[in-house]
Structures are given as structure tokens and as C-alpha cells.
Amino acid sequence: MKKIFLIIIILFITTNINYSQSVYVENAFNFSKNEYGGTARFIGMGGAFGAIGGDFSSIAINPAGLGIYRSSEIVFSPGLNYNTNDASYLGNSVSENGYTINMNNLGLVASYELDDSDTRWVYVNFGVGFNRTVDLNNNVQFEGINNNSIMEVFVDYANNNASDPMDLDGLYEYLLFSSGVIDTSGGVFYSDITDAVINDPDNFEVFQRKIIETEGSISEFNFSFSGNYANKLYVGASIGLFRVRYEQFASHYEYETANVPFVFTDGFDFREYSTTEGGGYNFKIGAIYKPMEFLKVGASVHTPTFYSLKQEFYNKAVGYYDTPNDFQPATSPIQTYEYNLTSPWRYIGSVGFQIGKIALVDVDYEYADYSTMKLDDESNSQEVSDDNDNIESMYDNTHNIRAGVEIRYGPLYFRGGGRYSTSPYKNNSDYDKITFAGGLGYREKKFFIDMAFSQSQYTYNMQAYEYEYNDAIANIDNKVNNYVLTFGFKF
């Protein structure tokens, strides 16, 4: 699992770690985080519903929120995501963006009043549906003229680990050799690019462009049950079934400049392709208690999500030359790797206020420790053990605060909220994430329509490749704009 190049490093968004890491370490975090997508009402209040309940997406926070319902309901929520990345690299600025249309939420709640009950249980409710919990779509690009090349890393590795071309790594150096970018003479591997470095290291330069594109999402299909005891205590539980779909494409492109032309090879493009699919499951339990008419307090616990994942990946090398030749792009066979992932436990506490029929306010606190994530495979390989050590060393616990308010004016509802999440990285406190949200709703007795907008933003650093002489860092500002429209029917 020699993953010290390209997509492994470009996804290594914190530059303060002094060891190479596997792509599976970063994917462990991508698949373990939870952004709690769903209905427009839920998103418009910043996802703060742990003590308020009464919305289908609140089940993702606290399944006891299902107990607030006193009628049955069906909802569906189409959405649009607009993702932007503004990158600064070696004095150049590049902006990338992308749109994604998706289904954020689809749910059914069945509510039953216990008229003939001899106990103080007054309602029992069931819920089934799905919420889109994590959006994995992203496009990043940065470029500039650097004074070193990733080809130095490839050639050094080839000379240190192979005596002839057949010993080269079939996913990396052998592809570059087959496409003519790397050559050998007298048992020594070299390239026109590294020759240019050796011949004039003080004046060497090369144009570099990095492109990273990801597509996919994580959706939770949940089956929930909740009870209402005397309109004072609400308890609930749910089973969540998760579906993961994640595609990655990375391109590292280098080309000669007018100041430093190469002898025969003009440049190259090294590309990596990967698709990960799989599923998982978890359990949630929660309770909401109403000590006073205007006050609710809630608490919930989420078990880890237990994933079984399958990744297929291959690489491709393309060389560019001064004159026509017989070299063709080289592509590796498709590789398959199956592994398991266990995400962290989550603990959530909430407080909500009901101001008559005028307003609702909710504040949630959530704790998750990402250093407890665990990877495993069938052979319990040494690479997995190393990855788990890196997870423990790299990741930290996080504190997530969500707050939201809803104000009613006749059939109109005005909403606002936000979320703040501390960095999950031990050595990078700058990765804090902030989300702002707002929305509007119109509700009648049997029908409602809600709309919402949220924007998440954070800034991070990315290194194109790890090399002792490469100190070029891309500074990237990311914004994710989410537009959601929800239609609901009560019966």
C-alpha cells in the first residue's frame, strides 16, 4: 500500500504532520464525519433540533424527536449544492466550482394516538426514510512554477527499490517507464526532468498543475420508533443503514517552461482514479424531557457506524514529447481492496425553548473523538496497523455547537441558525468549520413548503506532493452553498 504520492498527499490537507499517510486514513475521516443534511426546516435552523424534535431530519440527531409528532406526515426535499474553492499557490490564484443536484431527504412518519391506553403513554410514532448526511463533491485546482519536481521523488524511489524495470512499482514508476517519462541506463533510472535539475539546480523550474475532483455522498436510511409519555417525556431509538458512494480523480501535471526547456520530454501527466462503495449501520437512542412548558432538554447517543467498503483504483501516466514517437499512455490494471471502518461514538446534549406559539430556540452540543476511528481488513495487514497508529496520532476529539431559531408570523415561519465545529486534527487548529443558515416556511393544516440556504466555510492548506525540498503550499478557501426545498403533507 505504497500511497505516498499524489492523491494520498493531495488529500493530506494538514501540512504539519511529519509522516506520510495512507489515503485510507483520510477517507476514514471523510466517511466518519456527519454534516446532518435533510429537510429545509432542519437546515434553515443550522441542524439544531436535538431538544425540539417534530421534524423528520431531527431523527438523525435525537430519535426521541419523533415522539413530538401528533399526526402522520410525508416529506421530500430536493436540493442543490454549489461548491467553490479559491486556491493560492506559488503566487497564482485559481478558482474552481461545481454544482450538484440531489435528493436531500425523503421520509414518512406514522403517528398513533393511544386513546384506550391504561398507561400515560399517549402517542407512539414510527418513522422510515433517508437523509443525505454527507456531501463528498468537491473540485480543487492550483498551479504555478516550482523549483523542484515530483519526478525527483519517483526517480529516487525507483533507484532505491528496483534494479531493473520489472522491479518497478506497477502503480507508479513502471507506468512512467512504460510511457517513456522515466528511462534507464547502466542500471540507473533517470528522466529528462531530473537531468535538468542535476545540470542546473539553482535555476531549475517547472510548471505544475494539480487537479482534484471528488464525487459522491453518504446517505442514511433510518427506521425509528418513539413514544410520548404524558407529553412530558419522549424516548426513541433508531437503526441507521448507510450507503457510501465516493469517486476520486487526481491529476498531477508538469510541463517545461520557456526558461528551462527539457531535452526530449516536454512534460507528463500522472492521473489516479478511485471508486469506493459500501454500506454500514449504527444505532441511536435518545430522550427529551419537558420539565416546564417552555423548556425541553434532550440527550442522545450514537454508536459507531460499522462500514464494509470496497475500493477499486487504477493509475495512468501520459508523457508529452518534442517529436513523435512510439510511447503511448500507460494504464495499470484495476486493483481492488476491501476493508472495514469503525467511526467514533457520538454524544449529544440539547436544550430547547418554546416561546408560546411565537418562537422556538434550540442549542445542541455534540462530542466525537476521531482518534478512535479504526480500520481493518481480512488479513489484518501491517499497513492497516500503521494506518490506525496514524489515525490515533493525527486526529483529535471535536466539539460541535449548533444553534437555531424559528419565528412564526401567522402561516409564515422565519428561521436562522449556525454551526461551529472545532478542528479534528491535533496539529492543525486552523481547520475549524463554520456554517451559517437561514430559511422561510409556509404552513397550512395539511400542507407545508419550506426553503433554506446554508453556507459552510473553512480554510486549509494542501501540499501537491511530499518531498524534502518542496515547501510549496496551496492555501485554499472552501465554501459550500446548499439550497434546499421541502414539500410536506400531513394526514
Question: Residue 115 contacts by C-beta under 8 Å, 6 or more apart in sequence?
Answer: none
**Mean pLDDT in residue range 361-371:** 97
Q: Measure the CA–CA gap between 105 and 82, rounded to whole angstroms.
A: 18
- The candidate with the shortest Cα–Cα distance to 482, out of 37, 123, 97, is 37
- Report yes or no on 118 lying in a domain: yes
Bridge partner list, 344: none
- Report yes or no on 274 lying in a domain: yes
- Report yes or no on 220 lying in a domain: yes
Largest CA distance in the chain: 91
Q: What is the pLDDT of residues 369-401, one digit of tens each?
A: 999 999 999 887 788 899 999 999 999 999 999
Helix then strand count (H, E) for the chain reads 7, 21
Q: Tell me, what CATH number does 153's domain have?
A: 2.40.160.60
| pLDDT score of 1 more than 60 | no
DSSP for 421-485? E--SBTT-GGG-EEEEEEEEEEE-SSEEEEEEEEEEEEEEEE-SS--TT----EEEEEEEEEEEE
CB 14 within 8 Å of CB 427: yes
Q: Both ends of the chain: CA-CA distance in Å?
A: 55
Task: Give the pLDDT confidence score for residue 432 in this predicted structure.
Answer: 85
DSSP for 177-225? HHTTSSEEETTEEE-HHHHHHHH-TTT--EEEEEEEEEEEEEEEEEEEE
Average pLDDT, the chain: 92
- The candidate with the shortest Cα–Cα distance to 46, out of 414, 404, 458, 406, is 404
Task: Give the pLDDT confidence score for residue 94 in this predicted structure.
Answer: 94
CB 273 within 8 Å of CB 316: yes
- Report yes or no on 254 lying in a domain: yes
Task: Give the pLDDT confidence score for residue 119 in this predicted structure.
Answer: 82
| pLDDT score of 314 more than 80 | yes
Q: What is the pLDDT of residues 445-466, one digit of tens each?
A: 999 999 999 999 888 888 899 8
Q: How many domains does one find in the chain?
A: 1
Q: How far is CA 19 from the centre of its chain?
A: 22
| pLDDT score of 58 more than 80 | yes
- Report yes or no on 426 lying in a domain: yes
- Report yes or no on 1 lying in a domain: no
Q: What is the pLDDT of residues 394-450, one digit of tens each?
A: 999 999 999 999 999 999 999 999 999 999 999 876 678 899 999 999 999 999 999
**Mean pLDDT in residue range 268-277:** 97
Question: Residue 326 contacts by C-beta under 8 Å, 6 or more apart in sequence?
Answer: none
- Report yes or no on 355 lying in a domain: yes
**Mean pLDDT in residue range 288-302:** 97
**Mean pLDDT in residue range 53-69:** 95
Q: Which domain covers residue 27, as residue numbers?
A: 6-490
Residues 155, 161, 162, 167: is their CA dihedral positive or negative? negative
Q: Measure the CA–CA gap between 470 and 61, rounded to whole angstroms.
A: 43
Task: Give the pLDDT confidence score for residue 383 in this predicted structure.
Answer: 85
Task: Give the pLDDT confidence score for residue 7 in this predicted structure.
Answer: 35
- Report yes or no on 247 lying in a domain: yes
Q: What is the pTM of this model?
A: 0.89
Name the DSSP class of 371.
Answer: G
Task: Give the pLDDT confidence score for residue 11 in this predicted structure.
Answer: 37
